Amino acid sequence: MSFPAAAKTMSFIITRDLERSKRFFSETLGFTQTGEDPFAAVFDLNGVMLRITPIKDHKASPHTVLGWEVADIEAEVKALTARGITFSIYEGFEMDALGIWKSPDGKAKVAWFLDPDGNNLSLAQFA
């Protein structure tokens, strides 16, 4: 099969401070850095390549740029909170004390947090 079905997926995150982002993705989130070239630090996100690219004047977008599906969102939120992650609480969303939003149909739970550059990341659990 040809593109796109057979192509490997990769993702990009922009940072103002590459060293800080490398520490965050490796030490805080626990991902393995697999390389670095003149343009980006490369991480393995469970088989998906993440390239963290420094751009001096980067301004983060408010929307989610990267997310992970997890089996137990409450446990993962608590574990990341223990590592210093603060989960975002959005006005107008009915979120629980951990910062988890539940979809009206009850089939999804989502929690959002920011990386050091303000890039919006998320955890999601689907029923």
Q: What is the pLDDT of residues 41-65, one digit of tens each?
A: 999 999 999 999 999 999 999 899 9
Are both 22 and 33 inside the same structural domain? yes
Taking residues 7-11, what's their average pLDDT? 93
Are both 67 and 120 inside the same structural domain? yes
Are both 48 and 79 inside the same structural domain? no
The mean of the pLDDT values for the chain is: 96
What are phi and psi for residue 118, nearest 5 degrees? 85, 10
Torsional sign, CA 47, 28, 41, 52: positive
1 has a pLDDT exceeding 70? no
Are both 14 and 29 inside the same structural domain? yes
Are both 77 and 33 inside the same structural domain? no
Taking residues 70-99, what's their average pLDDT? 96
- Looking at the chain, the whole-number percentage of residues with pLDDT higher than 70 is 99
First-last CA distance in the chain: 31
Are both 41 and 75 inside the same structural domain? no
Q: What does the pLDDT look like over 75-87, one tens digit per residue?
A: 999 999 999 999 9
Full-model pTM: 0.93
Taking residues 111-121, what's their average pLDDT? 98
Q: Number of structural domains, the chain?
A: 2
CATH number at residue 46: 3.10.180.10
Range of the domain at 91: 60-127
Are both 32 and 93 inside the same structural domain? no
Are both 79 and 125 inside the same structural domain? yes
Q: How far is CA 11 from CA 83, 103, 111, 114, 127, in A?
A: 24, 26, 20, 16, 25
Are both 78 and 122 inside the same structural domain? yes
Total length of the chain: 127
Are both 49 and 76 inside the same structural domain? no
Are both 78 and 44 inside the same structural domain? no
Are both 3 and 27 inside the same structural domain? yes
